[in-house]
Amino acid sequence: MIRTFGVLIVLALATSVASCSSVLELSVGDCFQDWEGATQLATQQVKGVETVSCDVPHDNEVYALVEMTKESFPGAADVETEAYESCLEHFDAFVGTPYADSRLDFGALFPTAESWETGDRTIICFVYDVEFLRLTGSMEGSGI
């Protein structure tokens, strides 16, 4: 199965919008809906997302938070590479099946040079259905 990896950039401002959560507030197990333009494979800046209970149909679920340890911003390409590698590394253990055999795909929200300056070092890995179908329930240990 051939997949593409669309990496999304986080502009980590601690701004709260009605019915949205700052991306800086996301935790493993949080489910959230797509934002406008989320299914396009373009790099975007995302400040907030609409979080929902995983019991209701949702688009994405956070499955890993990875802290980057570099002192200074390593550059957009290096951040993107670390996000891809880190999220791939954590996928199988969370979903309970190898990435290559899963009907789920993953994306990442990660720091920009600007958000790095405010202390943002977190890569947020999330799963979604490869056909962009809504998920119901947690994908942790689902094996799908």
Q: What is the DSSP string of 80-109?
A: HHHHHHHHHHHHHHHHSS-GGG-SEEEEEE
pTM: 0.82
Q: How confident is the model at residue 34 (pLDDT cuts 50, 70, 90)?
A: confident
What would the pLDDT profile of 2-26 be if each residue is shown by its tens digit?
333 444 444 333 333 324 678 888 9
What would the pLDDT profile of 90-143 be if each residue is shown by its tens digit?
999 999 999 999 999 999 999 999 999 999 999 999 999 999 999 999 999 999
What would the pLDDT profile of 40-84 be if each residue is shown by its tens digit?
544 557 778 899 999 999 999 999 999 999 999 999 999 999 999
What would the pLDDT profile of 121-133 be if each residue is shown by its tens digit?
999 999 999 999 9
Residue of 59, 69, 2 whose CA lies nearest to 36: 59
At 116, list the tokens.
Answer: 């790095």
At 34, list the tokens.
Answer: 């797509």
> With contact defined as beta carbons under 8 Å apart, do 32 and 134 qualify?
no
Q: What is residue 93's DSSP assignment?
A: H
